[in-house]
Structure 1
């Protein structure tokens, strides 16, 4: 594994794709061959469909010949004998084959959507955290929902049927050529003009379809943002303003949808116009040729029937081109996510197993000259563009660091040359003002990001040489905002400890003083917590998140402001619970309330991303002005 500690090249800094791989609007372009893996997953069923289509084509091609024979026999005054019943039988068989083929195509289309969603979700949930920093949740959800749905149209709107229709098309052409070469020549000119027009328009459909899906993604993101913060929106009397924003995104999606509809509206009637023009030509010229004795009435009727049989699969082909190009527009957005490297891409070169901390003579955790800057964003959201227009680029750069569309730069450092150790079994606290970089320390420990310089070690091993999942199994992390997932209490507790029993869950809830939640709902552990835990108080959400970490029983606990939402009584109970579970474990705590960490074995003071002091509470009061000021403000000295 590479041990270079310089800035890594992240999204937006990679080599630009070739122009041939981009659509007209500069977005990644999907190609038809990228659809093939989704189709080939169902190759057996598709083989049956194609066989049924071939049988359907043969039964269809036989019908005009039988009709011509019927007309000839009627003209000659001969008995029809078995011809009528054979014709009826062919019609019935053709209908049955068509219905079963339609069912198989629908079933296969749903399978394509399912497999694409599974692949997209699997990739999405393993993306590096930086991708979630850049992308809006609603847009990602839209790719899983509406974009994948468009792949169904590849099958259900004519692609495979067009393959079967090609047999009918070729058979009809041969029959028409045999019946009358002159009429066939006139017909093929009309068809060639129609095909050329469709191919030209189809290129515009792909670009317009992708833009339409992007606008749907913007709409989904706006709705998700408003709903997730609905209480804040209502309290700020901003409901109407949010509706206006969402309305604009909805109108944007509507406009792009209309653009696709306008282009499609030009494609759809072409087959109808081609049929009408060809029919009129054949009727006029064919009638003249019948009158002149060049062909018979039966031959003209058969030719007209074959004409309809040729135009019908041609219409299917036009529809297939339309649906495939819309699907390719959506597939480009799907492939954009699937082609991103997963978070564990670097883990392929890991060389070490996670050390057994209990047997290690090294510190449990150690930072050695660690510096870190958050990766530069490759693009801005629409909201950020509006802010930039309002306050100016310089102000944006002062707040977030410059945003370089060319890539290759990073924001101002969050951590600079940070070094400290966490002894095995010790309780270490990180303190400092907001923005000092405390939570970033935890983000680096969890390998949500890797440092731009320096080394972070676990039991003496560089964590970049360890697989992320194995590393995280050693860490119990309670985030500052204590996220709770929609679902039940049990589902939240089992997130990190799927094998835990109900007794284990009840025990850990008692240890974090949360048994009252079980008592107030007869569902007990199956009591719902609501979206983002809205049915729990802030303190209850925090205690549930802590209980979730404790249930996994990792050797190292990382608690980020774990008591910030608790009142005095529950804070004391929580401290007692943490005291119990920290026995035999290493504990790293981030806290603004110094009262919760004054009895720590070691305290690290951070300010503006640098370590400005280390020691015990009494030592820091004497040696570190910043810590002394914090302690004075909290009446601890």
Structure 2
């Protein structure tokens, strides 16, 4: 199972599809994004016609009007796409948070003994926020970017296949550099999320018990722990920054080399009369339409790796076994005795906290639990309230076992 989570996106897609995806909003958003992309592909061709037919004495007003209309249609469709895809992402995350919240309310107390409240809060808020960002922002950009790149390359091959091949030489070079950097980014991002959740849990626990911390003169200890957590986040943040420091300048370098090469080669073609000035401008516009999606792909795959890590932790919560007895008997327990018989309990594989404890409490009777710290007084009340189940023995309210 762990291998599948690390190497496959199946758990992520399964979780999203079971979280009530608003299909209508998603369809409208993707359709509007598709229209925006296709309309955008016509802009360089219209620009070419306008530049090639341009003169001071004869401005093609009809062509200028069509170009203005195309810009308006693109802006309107882009607005619809942004809203509906954001709605779909927010709806999925709201459903996911709802499932996690209901699940947390039904988990046994033992789960919260093992997990800090801050870590759990980070899973519900931060990890789901990563998934929301992927669905609402990065995924639409990725889809529209793929369409833009494919459409632009096809049009460029039809316009001038020699210049297009010159431009495409940069693709394998970029891929060769980007793949190992992306894999390293995946490992760093996952570790950074874990450290963030751990640090959040420690901060929340310390602040919630601030009086106990001060009463125990533990400021120095907590200061050391906090500095350690901050240092880890700083180190992993620097590792992530180093990856971006390599990716961003490298992409910029490749882009500038391609642009300069295209302008130089295209300028020679224009001076020879084998290419019009409008065609060169259109070629450059298509080149920019290809460049922008490629640069956003880096962020998409980084966010995708973060979402994979977040999915593992969310699924861990959703698959945690709930406590039994949610549909217990409804009965009046007033004036009923409590019978504890040979109850033993331990929190783990360590030494048991309670060993074969037995006692009876009749209605109206006042008793006291006395013993040293760690002797099991709080644990006994936890068993009476069914926060935990005894390892052996029974607890009865009247004649009814407490687990009923």
TM-score where L is the length of structure 2: 0.85
Paired with 2:400 and 2:303, the residues of 1 have a C-alpha distance of 53
Unaligned runs of 5+ in 2: none
Give the Cα separation in 2 of the matches to 1:241 and 1:200.
40
Contact 2:29 2:83 in 1 (8 A): no
Q: CA deviation at 1:374?
A: 1.8
Contact 1:154 1:323 in 2 (8 A): yes
Judge conservation of contact 1:190–1:274 (CA < 8 Å) in 2: yes
Q: Deviation of residue 108 (structure 1)?
A: 4.4
Cα offset, 1:111, TM superposition? 4.0
Residues 1:60 and 2:40 aligned together:
yes
Alignment match, 2:384? 445
2 CA distance for matches of 1:167 and 1:227?
50
CA contact (8 A) 2:25 2:87 kept: no
User: Which has more helix, going by share of residues?
Assistant: 2
How far off its partner does 1:105 sit?
4.3
In structure 1, runs of 5+ residues without a counterpart are 1-16, 376-409, 467-637
Alignment match of 1:371 (pick from 321, 344, 359): 344
2:367 corresponding residue in structure 1: 429
Match of 2:281 among 286, 291, 301: 301
Describe the SS at the equivalent of 1:312: helix
1:454: Cα distance to partner? 2.5
Question: What is the aligned partner in structure 2 of residue 330 from structure 1?
Answer: 310
Partner of 1:499: none
Gap change, CA 1:309 and 1:209, over 3 Å in 2: same
| Corresponding residue number in structure 1 for 2:97 | 117
Provide TM-score, normalisation by structure 1: 0.56
Equivalent-residue separation in structure 2 for 1:39 and 1:101 (angstroms):
21
> In structure 1, what is the Cα distance between the partners aligned to 2:187 and 2:301?
14
| Superposed displacement of residue 175, structure 1 | 0.3
What is the CA distance between 1:430 and its match in structure 2?
5.1
Deviation at 1:287, TM superposition (A): 3.3
Q: Provide the rounded CA distance (Å) in 2 between the counterparts of 1:35 and 1:194.
A: 33
Out of 134, 158, 164, which is 2:144 matched to? 164
Matched, 1:84 2:64: yes
Q: How far did 1:172 drift?
A: 0.7
Q: Residues 341 and 358 of structure 2 are in contact (CA less than 8 Å); yes or no, is this contact kept in structure 1? A: yes
Contact 2:116 2:202 in 1 (8 A): no
Query: Of the two structures, which has the highest relative contact order with CA contacts closer than 8 Å and spacing of 6 or more?
Result: 2
Q: Which residue of 1 aligns with 2:5?
A: 21
User: What are the residue-to-residue correspondences of 1:65-464 with 2, within 5 Å?
Assistant: 65-74=45-54, 80-235=60-215, 238-239=218-219, 241-344=221-324, 347=325, 353-354=329-330, 364-375=337-348, 410-422=349-361, 425=363, 427=365, 429=367, 431-434=369-372, 435-464=374-403
The Cα of 1:90 is off from its aligned counterpart by 1.4
Secondary structure of 2:393's match? strand
Alpha-carbon RMSD? 3.4
Between the aligned partners of 2:227 and 2:398, the Cα distance in structure 1 is: 54
SS at match of 1:248: helix
* CA positional deviation for 1:113: 4.3
Relative distance call for 1:206 and 1:315 in structure 2 (3 A) is same
CA contact (8 A) 2:270 2:277 kept: yes
CA–CA distance in structure 2, aligned partners of residues 298 and 40 of structure 1: 49
Three-state SS of the structure 2 residue aligned to 1:151 is helix
